[in-house]
Amino acid sequence: MAKKIVTLAGDGIGPEIMKAGLEVLAATAEKIGFEYEIDAKNFGGVAIDKEGNPLPEDTLNAAKDSDAILLAAIGHPKYNEATVRPEQGLLRLRKELGLFANIRPVKIFNQLKKLSPLKPEIIEGVDFIMVRELTGGIYFGEHTLDDDKARDVNDYNVEEITRIMKIAFETARTRGKKVTSVDKQNVLATSKLWRRVADQVALDYPDVTLEHQLVDSCAMLMITDPSRFDVIVTENLFGDILSDEASVLPGTLGVMPSASHSETGPSMYEPIHGSAPDIAGLGIANPVSMILSVAMMFKESFNLSEAAQIIENAVEKTFENGIFTKDLGGQATTKEMTQAIISNL
């Protein structure tokens, strides 16, 4: 039966890169005989414009009913806060779908090693996965803002930390067998609990090495010695910040995909970056983050590793042909980059 894929193109460069992702999806599906149907829904600033709500009920229900969700990016300067708010927008979507496990791979294509702002000897061998807790922490605690004071509450419980730790250890088992748990346990109570639970879960994985790293020095190590990492597991806010920092290793946010998983429902795939209002409408956005998110969807939702590999190889080949978008110092437009990738599939 055809798989039901809900697409949320969103705002800014969102529609431009979604178009690219869907063209690559179509070309790959034809090659491997994958049957699917697309249900495009309003989400973000565009949904406020059209329906007065960043996450219309119809969009949420379609997402819940789908086999997988593709999100490009949301956030319009006009509506910025409203598009993400816990009770309304992106955060509500993640919470309603129970997407607690956000997987952000950091892999550097060979051709990008030369383009990285870091020295080649630092970039060599970099290949790690950031496992970011996505439905808890300070994002979802109480927020109050008065004229003279403000407050954000950071909450975590043992169950929330245990389930994300298990994802990290299971992931490490399939790779380099090392987990780096990142916290701020010298200051935060939530981080003390985080560390305690990490140690407890590690007992069930004697084949995996656990190390703890404070978040501030982790930020430094990510630039000075990134090849030391295999799987990084961390709370919502630290994961947000560290994953954008990690995009400096390949040289741009424009090549960074992600997957978000729940216990049982559909998964969502999205670039880690936002709607890039500074380049929206110019036709120069790098579509690779979206295209690699499609590859992750093939592999993780539909068990089609071969399709994912076809896409990754085509991206690598396109870079080998010297075709780069502006964020990587090239001239290719979004359309040209996408066409080149499709012709290399």
Ligand X SMILES: CC(C)[C@H](C(=O)O)[C@@H](O)C(=O)O
Ligand Y SMILES: NC(=O)c1ccc[n+]([C@@H]2O[C@H](COP(=O)([O-])OP(=O)(O)OC[C@H]3O[C@@H](n4cnc5c(N)ncnc54)[C@H](O)[C@@H]3O)[C@@H](O)[C@H]2O)c1
Nearer to Mg ion, 183 or 240 (CB): 240
Site for ligand Y in 58-117 (CB under 6 A): 73-75, 80, 84, 90
Q: Min. distance of Cβ 241 from ligand Y in angstroms?
A: 12
DSSP H/E element including 104: strand 101-107
| Site for ligand X contains 337 (CB under 6 A) | no
204 has binding-site annotation = no
Nearer to ligand X, 272 or 310 (CB): 272
122 has binding-site annotation = no
Which residues make Cβ contacts (< 8 Å) with residue 11, sequence separation at least 6? 44, 45, 46, 73, 74, 75, 76, 83, 275, 280
Stretch that binds ligand Y, among 104-112, 127-135, 172-180, 279-287 (CB under 6 A): 279-287
User: How far is it between the farthest Cα atoms of the chain?
Assistant: 60
| Site for ligand X contains 70 (CB under 6 A) | no
Q: Tokens 């870079």: give the residue.
A: 319
Nearer to ligand X, 42 or 111 (CB): 42
| Site for ligand Y contains 226 (CB under 6 A) | no
Report residue 192 as tokens: 């003390």
| Site for ligand Y contains 235 (CB under 6 A) | no
275 has binding-site annotation = yes
Nearer to ligand X, 168 or 272 (CB): 272
DSSP secondary structure string, 145-209? Answer: E-SS-EEE-----HHHHHHHHHHHHHHHHTTTSEEEEEE-TTT-HHHHHHHHHHHHHHTT-TTSE
Task: Return d(Cα 83, Cα 76) in angstroms, integer.
Answer: 8
Report residue 150 as tokens: 């403000």
244 has binding-site annotation = yes
Distances (CA, A) of 172 to 31, 152, 202, 229: 32, 32, 11, 11
Could you list the active site residues?
139, 184, 216, 240, 244
281 has binding-site annotation = yes
Task: Return d(Cα 231, Cα 210) in angstroms, integer.
Answer: 10
Site for Mg ion in 221-240 (CB under 5 A): 240
Of 24, 63, 70, 84, the one binding ligand X by CB under 6 A = 84
Residues 165 and 131: beta-carbon distance below 8 Å: no
For the window 255-284, what string marks contact with ligand X as x by the rule CB under 6 A? -----------------x-x----------
| Site for ligand X contains 63 (CB under 6 A) | no
195 has binding-site annotation = no
DSSP secondary structure string, 242-296? Answer: HHHHHTTTTT-GGG---EEE-SSS-EEE--SS---TTTTTTT----HHHHHHHHH
Nearer to ligand X, 83 or 181 (CB): 83
Nearer to Mg ion, 111 or 258 (CB): 258
DSSP H/E element including 313: helix 305-320
For the window 236-265, what string marks contact with Mg ion as x by the rule CB under 5 A? ----x-------------------------
| Site for ligand X contains 240 (CB under 6 A) | yes
Distances (CA, A) of 138 to 134, 237, 239: 10, 7, 12
Q: Min. distance of Cβ 243 from Mg ion in angstroms?
A: 6
Residues 63 and 42: beta-carbon distance below 8 Å: no
Of 5, 46, 55, 90, the one binding ligand X by CB under 6 A = 90
Binding residues for NAD(+): 274-286
Sites of contact with ligand Y (CB under 6 A): 13, 17, 73-75, 80, 84, 90, 253-254, 270, 273-279, 285-286, 289, 327
The residues binding Mg ion (CB under 5 A) are: 240
Residues that bind ligand X in the complex, under the rule CB under 6 A: 84, 90, 240, 272, 274
